[in-house]
């Protein structure tokens, strides 16, 4: 006959090896090793606007110094006993002026009374060679160069003679539109124009010769035939 055991005893007799084991997913205990150093974060540098380089900085607008009378300059007389130019000189330079003036001249000659260049004169000009100077003086010494002319005077080209100190000693201006010329000092043996003011008329030959020299020197608007060609640019 089988023996019955109380239920409580059966439970106590179950081997402990069958009891559920403790869970192994518990958080590990912190190790005794020192903590890793905190990552150093460098704060972003302040944005600094780049400074323009010296070459990128536009230069300040330059102001041309006021011209002063040339050293030793003396007003050029209306006449000289020696004629034109009547004194020793070292060189001659040709100039263009009033290139945007179609009416009454701003400059009647390359020079102002104090020996400085007139306001509308194209600076630097063109120096004549020795042969060109010789040819110009020979032309001015021929009576056939002069005569005729008109009652207008709208000069746009001229020549200045300088001594060894770069001081002006004589000047010539001429109007190829009106066949007229003005010289300081006056050119001997020329008949003054009826308009007075020291002007003298140019013959067809004289006009052609001066126009040719003008072109040879590379001055602007030597072949202009009308005052409107000198008007202000649009």
Query: Does pLDDT of 227 surpass 90?
Result: yes
Structure confidence at residue 196 (pLDDT): 62
Query: Does pLDDT of 2 surpass 90?
Result: no
Which pLDDT tens digit goes with each residue over 144-158?
999 988 989 999 999
SS3 for 65-128, per residue? CCCCCCCCCCCCCCCCCCCCCCCCCCEEEEEECCCCCCCCCCCCCCECCCCCECCCCCCCCEEC
pTM summary value: 0.71
Which pLDDT tens digit goes with each residue over 177-205?
999 999 999 999 887 776 667 899 999 99
Average pLDDT value over all residues in the chain = 80
Residue of higher predicted confidence among 18 and 135: 135
Please enumerate in sequence order all residues whose Cβ is within 8 A of that of 92, keeping only pairs 6 or more positions apart, or say none. 127, 128, 132, 133, 136, 159, 160, 161, 162
Which pLDDT tens digit goes with each residue over 44-72?
555 555 554 544 544 544 444 568 889 89
Query: Does pLDDT of 167 surpass 80?
Result: yes
Which pLDDT tens digit goes with each residue over 75-101?
999 999 999 999 999 999 999 999 999
Structure confidence at residue 148 (pLDDT): 86
Q: Where are the domains of the chain?
A: 91-224
């Amino acid at each position: 006959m089988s023996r019955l055991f109380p239920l409580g005893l059966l439970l106590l007799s179950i081997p402990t090896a069958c009891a559920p084991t403790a869970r192994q997913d518990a958080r590990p205990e912190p190790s005794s090793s020192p903590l890793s150093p905190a990552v150093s974060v460098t704060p972003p540098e302040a944005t600094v606007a780049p400074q323009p380089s010296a070459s990128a900085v536009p230069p300040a607008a330059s102001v041309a110094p006021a011209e002063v009378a040339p050293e030793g300059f003396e007003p050029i007389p209306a006449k000289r006993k020696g004629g034109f130019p009547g004194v020793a000189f070292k060189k001659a330079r040709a100039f263009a002026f009033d290139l945007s003036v179609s009416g009454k001249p701003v400059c009647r000659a390359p020079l102002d009374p104090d020996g400085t260049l007139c306001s509308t004169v194209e600076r630097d000009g063109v120096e004549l060679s020795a042969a060109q100077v010789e040819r110009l003086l020979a032309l001015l010494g021929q009576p056939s160069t002069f005569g005729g002319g008109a009652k207008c005077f709208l000069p746009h080209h001229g020549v200045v003679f300088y001594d060894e100190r770069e001081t002006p000693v004589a000047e010539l201006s001429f109007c190829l539109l009106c066949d007229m010329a003005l010289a300081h000092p006056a050119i001997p043996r020329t008949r003054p124009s009826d308009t007075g003011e020291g002007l003298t008329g140019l013959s067809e030959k004289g006009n052609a010769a001066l126009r040719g020299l003008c072109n040879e020197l590379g001055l602007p608007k030597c072949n202009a035939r009308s005052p409107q060609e000198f008007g202000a640019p649009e």
